């Protein structure tokens, strides 16, 4: 676990689906990371070295990205340009990775 600005983070090396990751977080009374500010985003980038799933989805309405707690994405976002990722099939989850300069990249949930 790590702690920053009133939030607690737990990282796991286990490769899993978005559904399993969400269920694992929920069993701890938590959610996937919800980077809502530049400070929080910067904190997360300091912790990760691999591609990680974050709590953003458009599962319920294609093209309308929301945090997994149902709140709207505000003025702060780090989405890549749509030209930088293919939008084919069910691309309903979002990842961050060093390879994409820690920008948010829509991805498959499996």
Q: Does the pLDDT at position 2 exceed 90?
A: no
Residue spans of the domains in the chain: they are: 2-107
Look at residue 16 in the predicted model and tell me its pLDDT. 86
**CATH no. of 2-107:** 3.10.100.10
Predicted confidence (pLDDT) per residue in 14-35, tens digit: 888 888 888 888 898 888 999 9
Q: Model-level pTM?
A: 0.86
- Among candidate residues 31, 32, 107, 37, the one with its CA nearest the CA of residue 77: 37
Predicted confidence (pLDDT) per residue in 66-107, tens digit: 999 999 999 999 998 776 666 666 889 999 999 999 999 999
């Amino acid at each position: 676990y790590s702690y920053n600005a009133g939030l607690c983070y737990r990282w796991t090396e286990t490769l899993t689906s978005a559904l399993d990751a969400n269920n694992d977080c929920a069993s701890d009374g938590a959610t996937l990371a919800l980077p809502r500010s530049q400070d929080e985003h910067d904190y997360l980038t300091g912790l990760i070295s691999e591609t990680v799933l974050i709590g953003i989805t458009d599962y319920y309405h294609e093209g309308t990205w929301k945090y997994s707690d149902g709140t709207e994405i505000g003025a702060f976002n780090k989405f890549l340009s749509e030209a930088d990722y293919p939008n084919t099939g069910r691309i309903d989850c979002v990842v961050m990775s060093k390879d994409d300069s820690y920008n948010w990249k829509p991805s498959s949930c499996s």
